[in-house]
Amino acid sequence: MSTDVERFRKWSDAAPNEDYNPQPEDVQWMKQVTGIQDEEELKNHALKIQAEGLVVYPYPCIKKFAFTTSRVGRHPAYQDVLAIGKNRPGAIYLEAACCFGNDVRKVVSDGYPIENVIATDLKGDFWTIGQKFFRTTPETFPVPFLLGDAFDASFISPDTPPAPTSSTPPIRDVPSLKTLTSLTPLQHHVSIIHAAAFFHLFNEEPQRRLAFLLGSLLSPSPGSMIIGSHGGAPDTEENKKGATRFIGVSESLFTHSPTSWRNLWIGEGGVFKEGDVKVWAEAKVLPRPPSQPTLTDSSGLPVERCVMTWSVIRI
Ligand SMILES: C[S@@+](CC[C@H](N)C(=O)[O-])C[C@H]1O[C@@H](n2cnc3c(N)ncnc32)[C@H](O)[C@@H]1O
């Protein structure tokens, strides 16, 4: 999928660095997980790590210091995530496109059993930089990291379709997370998949493929969920099928609206059959910081900055 990612780079490169301005609860959390108590030292540490991350790839989320907070912790389904970790023995949590690994650190710091957590990303350097930021090693933070391209057929097999919802667990045994070299053995075995700022990197068709691939990993047990957040389009009549946003002379991004997102996951042609899952999605228009590049629609008119938070939960 490198072409889509390359398309994205131009926009990403143009997004200016934002100021380091964490919320008080994020400062507390960073102190807890990094062990750094001095706030000036913490800031300098974050700036240094940000610079290293931007060399690997200049994602806007790194420019915005997304690694100093957690998206999963702010997701409306977060308490259910923690409850599954506590109450469902062996329930696997997968962080898709984990980047520095801040979200897996959040679930583990809130009590999700570490032995059931796994993270994956296209770029191993991000995970290494995350170990540096959180001042851990593979021994002190033993969550397995799997390097891979989510679209690579040898990483997630496209031949296994998403399972229908069922209370009967799959018979196949799950190998130890530490021994995995691809996600294929986890198909139909993952209880929670969190994917933040991931889908919006791709165009409409690869987003659809990604939804099927992540869907194929999901456990059939009721309550299993795929959750996340990313750039979206407000749920207007004209955005029913999603929206294409032009971000430069020849660059465009496809964004789903809550309606098109639901239709991607459920019903005819969707990832899951009607009645197997409930899909919730909410698109919120946010004020655009003056430093951010303006997105325009097909007529060249500015469009709002809009974040869609969503969940797909087995019934
Ligand atoms: C915008 S960052 C989001 C990171 C993090 N989830 C967050 O919310 O801050 C996108 C992440 O997707 C990863 N990525 C891009 N293409 C990928 C692919 N084809 N397979 C797996 N990961 C991919 C990137 O390496 C990067 O870490």
> Does ligand 1 have an atom closer than 6 angstroms to the CB of 59?
yes
151 CB within 6 A, ligand 1: yes
**114-159, pLDDT tens digit by residue?**
999 999 999 999 999 999 999 999 999 999 999 999 999 999 999 9
Q: How many Å lie between the centroid of ligand 1 and the Cα of residue 57?
A: 10
Distance in Å, CA 219 to ligand 1 centroid: 23
Domain ranges of the chain: 71-314
CB 288 within 8 A of CB 294: yes
Q: How far is CA 182 from CA 68, 131, 160, 278, 310, in A?
A: 28, 21, 14, 28, 26
Q: Which residues contact 205 (CB under 8 A, 6 or more apart)?
A: none
| pLDDT tens track, the chain, 315 positions | 445 566 666 666 666 667 899 999 999 999 999 999 999 999 999 999 999 999 999 888 999 999 999 999 999 999 999 999 999 999 999 999 999 999 999 999 999 999 999 999 999 999 999 999 999 999 999 999 999 999 999 999 999 999 999 998 777 778 899 999 999 999 999 999 999 999 999 999 999 999 999 999 999 999 999 999 999 999 999 999 999 876 655 567 899 999 999 999 998 999 999 999 999 999 998 876 666 666 666 666 666 788 999 999 999
Which secondary structure element, helix H or strand E, spans residue 145, and what is its range? strand 145-147
User: Is the pTM higher than 0.85?
Assistant: yes
Decide whether any atom of ligand 1 lies within 6 Å of the 99 Cβ.
Answer: yes
d(Cα 204, Cα 253) in Å, to the nearest integer? Answer: 9
Which ranges constitute the DSSP H helices of the chain?
Answer: 2-14, 24-34, 39-56, 60-63, 78-87, 102-109, 124-133, 204-217, 258-265
Does residue 251 contact residue 266 with C-beta atoms inside 8 Å? no
Taking all residues of the chain, what is their mean pLDDT, rounded to a whole number?
91
Strand pairing report for 92-96 and 277-286: unpaired
- Among 71, 152, 198, say which to mutate for ligand 1: greatest number of ligand atoms within 8 Å of CB: 198
- Is residue 88 a contact partner of residue 116, using CB atoms and an 8 Å limit? no
197 lines ligand 1 (CB under 6 A): yes
Q: What does the H/E/C string look like for 8-36?
A: HHHHHHHCCCCCCCCCHHHHHHHHHHHCC
Could you name the CATH architecture of 71-314?
3-Layer(aba) Sandwich (3.40)
